[in-house]
Chain A
Amino acid sequence: MRGSFLSNQGVQVKICVCVKQVPDSWAEKKLSASDSTLDRASADRVVNELDEYAVEEALRIVEAGEGEVTILSMGPDEAADSVRKAISMGAHAGIHISDPALHGSDALATSLVLAKAIEGRGFDLIIFGSESTDARMSVVPAMVAARLGLPQMTFANKVELSGDSLTIHRVTDYGYDEVQSSLPAVVSVVEKTNEPRYPSFKNIMAAKKAPMETLSLADIGLDASTVGLANAWSQVNDFAERAAKAKGTIITDEGNGAEKIKEFLVTQKFI
């Protein structure tokens, strides 16, 4: 059911893969006390691991025919590292949108910025991971499709490209929907769609020299009044760390462990 069947031999495909730099998903994350945005210094910064499936899918499509893959990311200066990291999987170029005014942007603003950066570049496919491991909203791919007026081909665990016809398997709670569209289109892929490759030494070296555009808001034709924390469509009133749970009863099994759990479940009326 997984993987790609590709038949685009000899066709030039231009693919944009959007990636996000996030705190390591194996680390504790925090909000910053001053403005309730993500405290990016509190954990190691990595490429959102679900975006690696998007990069891999793009590379497989291009390798089955011809074409190039551009990595696009919006984020603070440090996010340039994540663009290079994603390129080192085998992509060809990078675009990094960085502007102090972007700090605290919500999903509506983020989708606006990405759409503006993508517009007019002639991409056939824009591929996302299905969610970021920090915000976990899963809305930006659909929003970018809406803003660009392109077919929304999201939550795919299979992507099939044949000429300019695209078919995906959209994961549902009963199985999947087979969905078709023409190109260009916006795709998001779910976890485990493929097996993301590790960057090879050759590609790591190539990524250092790959063309990278660093663009400000003005460069993509947006005004600071449309983005950032102060202009967000929603705001955080307050937040608190969850109180640590009171220590429960822990026993060591001496042949009676199951019996003790059963007694607990009975007291709690689960059985």
Chain B
Amino acid sequence: MTEVLVLIDHTDGVIKKVSLELLAMAAGIGEPSAVFIGPGADAALATLGDHGAKIVYVADSQAMLDHVVIPKVDVLAKLVAEKSPAAVLIPSSADGKEIAGRLAIAVDSGVITDAVAVSADVIATQNVFGGATIVHSKVSKGTPIITVRTNSIAPVQSGGSATRVDVAVEISASASATKVVNRVSVAKSGRPDLSEAAIVVSGGRGVGSDEGFTKIIEPLADALGAAVGASRAATDAGWYPHQFQVGQTGKTVSPQLYLASGISGAIQHRAGMQTSKTVVVVNKDADAPIFDLADFGVVGDLHSVVPDLTALVTARK
């Protein structure tokens, strides 16, 4: 069976869920091989094998940490040339998309971003225009390079094990043209990552203030173990930081449950969340377009409904 390369997204060997999802997707196309770049491969080997990887290609050198994006392109380009894989699957993060784009140029191949499914004959499904249109497309030149969104497929434990194969790559001149001089971690809330979360609790104009977010939206999110999102109206007003904005500009999310409070549902917002599996809405305005997406909706004041709901959810635990 032809190999399918999967670029593993990880932090020092701690594998992100999306990487295991991509291994499951790769198994539907051919034989999954993981590509692990940076330190921590030994810690990750068993998990990758257990999720379907037969081979784990490892490129671990200081150069991989000193520069962004391009060393990873160099590794993948070498492997594509040597292994002629059926496809290369890459997580649809900011880095992942840039890696895919540059790899496409390096190996003269087509690139498709933000796929939510890839068939056995490598036809990709994308939800474009914020999920309003479903597109099937394929790469017509070279090796298909496809970035895949988080939560597109469930990881599968195969009980297998993987062989480590080290790859020596001399990084290109363009890789060394940019240098990372400092990595800065910003304190995290302890909540799940917005783009990976199974549940998102989101607030909009109706929340009314930054205090509304800390006293009404965040407690419900914490009771549900959810990430917090915000509409553009709320981030533009400065009530919640911009990195939590869900919408046409901002993050695209596709959680199991999306709970929207005080969000009217302009296209700008719907474009970032309408592929959510289940949508629950609280809004004062019965005519708000967000109700068109609701599986369950309450016409009412979020300032009383949401705190009551938080209390009920907490009481059940």
A contact residues vs B (CB 8 Å cutoff) = 25-31, 36, 49-50, 106-108, 111, 130, 133-134, 136-140, 142-143, 145-147, 149-155, 167, 169-182, 185, 191-192, 232-242, 244-245, 247-253, 257-262, 264-266, 268, 270-271
Contacts and interface: CB of A to CB of B under 8 A. Distances in A.
Nearest to A108: B104
Contact of B309 (A26, A137, A176, A261): A261
Given A28-B132, A143-B105, A261-B305, 18 more contacts: A27-B267, A30-B129, A111-B105, A136-B114, A137-B113, A138-B94, A139-B111, A146-B106, A152-B102, A172-B183, A174-B11, A234-B111, A234-B140, A251-B298, A257-B300, A261-B309, A265-B280, A270-B278
Interface of A (DSSP majority class): mixed
B268 interface: yes
Contact of B98 (A152, A260, A266): A152
Contacts of A140: 101
User: Could you say which of A49, A145, A167 has the most chain B C-beta atoms within 10 Å of its C-beta?
Assistant: A145
A49 B111 CA distance: 24
Contact of B111 (A233, A235, A253, A265): A233
A251 B297 contact: yes
7 contacts: A49-B249, A142-B97, A146-B174, A175-B186, A181-B177, A185-B178, A250-B296
A199 B221 CA distance: 41
Contacts of B112: 234
B104 A233 contact: yes
Interface residues of B, number: 90
B94 A236 contact: no
B298 A257 contact: yes
B211 interface: no
Shortest beta-carbon contacts, A-B, top 8: A253-B300, A139-B101, A233-B110, A258-B308, A175-B186, A234-B110, A178-B182, A142-B98
B134 interface: yes
Nearest to A191: B249
A179 B180 CA distance: 4
A239 B134 contact: yes
Contacts, number: 260
B294 interface: yes
Contact of A264 (B69, B267, B296): B296
B267 A151 contact: no
B105 A147 contact: yes
Contacts of B174: 145-146, 149-152
B137 A237 contact: yes
Interface stretch (B46-54, B158-166, B285-293): B285-293
Interface string B103-122: 01110011111100000000
A257 B301 CA distance: 9
Nearest to A237: B136
Interface in B230-251: 242-243, 248-250
User: Could you say which of A133, A151, A232, A248 has the most chain B C-beta atoms within 10 Å of its C-beta?
Assistant: A248
Contact of B177 (A182, A234, A252): A182
B136 to A, nearest CB: 4
A25 B247 CA distance: 10
Contacts of B13: none
B179 interface: yes
A25 B248 contact: yes
Nearest to B93: A173
A173 B184 CA distance: 10
A265 B140 CA distance: 45
Interface in B6-31: 11
Interface string B38-79: 000000000000000000000000000000111000000000
Contacts of A181: 177-179
Contacts of A151: 174, 177-178
B199 to A, nearest CB: 7
